[in-house]
Amino acid sequence: MTLEIFPRAVADSIVTGAWTLLPDTARHWTESQPSEPLARLSLIIGLLLNWNYAEAYEHHNALISELAGSAENTKRVIQTVELFVGKYPTEAGPRLFYGLMLAQMGELESALREYKEGAKLAPEDPYPHYYQGQAYQASDRLDLAIREYREAVRLAPHEPHMRLNLGSAYQHQGNLESAIPQFREAVKLNPSDPVAHYNLGVALVDQGRLEMAIGAYKESARLNPKDPMVHYQLGVAQEKRGRLGEAIAEYQAATELAPSFALGYRSLGWVYYNQNKAGLAAEAFGKAVQYNEKDSHSLHGLGLTKLALGAKEDAIRYLQQAYRLEDREDKRHLIHGTLVRLRALPY
């Protein structure tokens, strides 16, 4: 086992914490040694530390696939990084690198240990606190996640990604009064980030401030018009405001961008059903069930729509499926009542 496996440029980037250099140096390594998992791992970590999540996830899936096929390779990678960390006991960079590697492998508690050591070695570095926050949030320890995110934001107040995660943790805790200012600050710091506008929109909807949420969603959609979820959520907000034409347009945009988006078809179906457009509703609910055959809400809608169209046998079949799959007691009661009226269930 030797440490020379790390090219000098990659090792220097890690040891000195020169994270902006790591993606390029690791990419060169990956290109020259495409079968070396440590090269891909270094690239993933470099991408994560520079907020390039989309490409990082692509390489992550490939890395997990490679390591899953070779226990020996996994062992070698871990041992090599452990030796690398041991060679630089007073440097925080290798600890952070090791922690991120462990997190990629699903070892969150071990990753936390390394992040904490990194924070001790570099108390003014926001990254160890930020990634501690991620690990705590992934394990639903929101109080601890918020503590670490707050420290990361204190150390890097102009970094919008840290604001977004702090806001997200507050939101999951149900603390919208604290979440929304973080999302607003993230938007202010990076107004061209569609995710920041989207997260702000979600929080504003949760708070009942629909007009502001619609504005945030529209800006997110303008910045990233090909995101189906933004169009879907914009449709939900417009529907809540009673603007059914706008809601339909957004649901249609979502399903055009993601043709298997069952939730979009389901919402479209209910709007059409409530407008007494049974034919369009049946088409939308049919697609929703096609792409998610166990969605009781879509099956319920399809059953009611078939009933409106005079197809009683089909209606009973779909309503019975919905009744079997529905978990919520109030909805089960509603479906049960319809089936009783159709004499498909005893009173």
What domains are defined for the chain? 260-347 (1.25.40.10)
What is the residue type of 237? Answer: A
**344 pLDDT band (50/70/90 cuts)?**
confident
Q: Which residue has the tokens 């949760």?
A: 206
Pick from 163, 234, 172: which is nearest to 193 by CA? Answer: 163
Q: Is residue 65's pLDDT more than 90?
A: no
User: Considering only CA atoms, which of 217, 236, 215 is closest in space to residue 227?
Assistant: 217
C-alpha angle 126-132-134 in degrees, rounded to nearest 5: 105
Task: State mean pLDDT over 150-155.
Answer: 98
Q: What pLDDT score was predicted for residue 61?
A: 81
pLDDT over 80 (residue 166): yes
pLDDT grade for 323, boundaries at 50, 70 and 90: very high
Report the predicted TM-score, pTM, of the whole model to 2 decimal places: 0.90
What pLDDT sits at residue 105? 86
Provide mean pLDDT across the span 316-322.
97
| Cα torsion 310, 314, 317, 323: sign | negative
Which of 30-34, 320-324, 331-335 shows the lowest per-residue confidence on average (mean pLDDT)?
30-34
The predicted pLDDT at position 347 comes to 64
Q: pLDDT value at position 104?
A: 87
Letter string b/e over residues 165-178, b meaning 16 or more CB atoms within 10 A of that residue's CB: bbbbbbbeeeebeb
**What 8-state DSSP symbol labels residue 292?**
-
Residue 250 to residue 208: CA distance in whole angstroms: 20
Look at residue 1 in the predicted model and tell me its pLDDT. 40
pLDDT at 99: 97
Helix pair angle (228-240, 194-206), 10° resolution: 30
Side chain identity at 45, as an amino acid letter?
Answer: I
Query: Per the structure block, which two tokens stand in for 245?
Result: 């034409």
Residues in the chain: 347
Question: Distance between CA atoms of 45 and 27, rounded to whole angstroms?
Answer: 11
For the chain, what percent of residues have pLDDT higher than 70?
98
With cut-offs at 50, 70 and 90, classify the pLDDT of residue 4.
low
> Per-residue DSSP letters for 244-263?
HHHHHHHHHHHHHHSTT-HH
- Per-residue pLDDT, 346: 77
Looking at residue 87, its pLDDT comes to 94
pLDDT band of residue 182 (cuts 50, 70, 90) is very high
pLDDT range class, residue 72, cuts 50, 70, 90: confident
